[in-house]
Homo-oligomer: A and B are copies of this chain.
Amino acid sequence: MKLDKITRSYDDACGTAHALELIGDRWALLIARELMFGPRRFGELRVGLPGISANVLTQRLAELERSGILMRRKLPPPASVQVYELTPWGYEAEEVIKIAGRWAARSPAHDPTRPLSAASLMMSFRTMFDAERATDLASTLNFVIGADRFVVTVADGRLAVERGEGEAEVTLTGSTSAFVAAVYGDVSLRVLEAEGALAIAGERSVVEQFTTLFALPSKAAPV
């Protein structure tokens, strides 16, 4: 029972060092990633973080709360459920997540075949979106990924992603890996549909265009 556990300090005034004290512990930044699209419950966080153990998640949530990065809130009755939500400053960590992700995507060792949470996929859209390719597209797409729903809107060369459902030209249902294959891989929608990995309800052409809007950075030269 050491409440006063001070996370091992770097004793360094550098902001980067302080960032590591705030979000450098294992899993911490990925917890923030899972919270980037709104409040989440304990169990939902576990689903998005394959391999994290409950006690570590509990501990990280407590530390992130103490740091002012997230708050725990109780939803009003009758849904009196506890949820975890980023503070405004916590949401600003999105830039860190995106820049780190974009940099690491150039790693020769990056393995995109591993599992991906729904929040990760949506964050990858925000990260890899290429505004120049989207100047002449204005559409809304619904994504259904298991229990997760997202609305993705492209307009004026900008991309918006949020949880929920909305008026959309098309609704896509599938796993994150199917969407990865469609957007970042060279797998055609037809093939994914034939495999049953993906279902498209609505305007197919919107989806065809959508899959062209994102580009992974080129790989760094291996040693």
Contact = CB atoms under 8 A, between A and B. Distances in A.
A10 B101 CA distance: 14
A96 interface: yes
Q: How many copies does the complex hold?
A: 2
A114 B13 CA distance: 5
Interface string A95-135: 11111111111111111111111001001100100000000
Contacts of A110: 15, 18
A114 B12 contact: yes
Could you say which of A10, A13, A68, A102 has the most chain B C-beta atoms within 10 Å of its C-beta? Answer: A13
A120 B11 CA distance: 13
B22 A30 contact: no
Could you say which of A21, A99, A114 has the most chain B C-beta atoms within 10 Å of its C-beta? Answer: A99
Nearest to A105: B15
B30 A87 contact: no
A45 interface: no
B16 A101 contact: yes
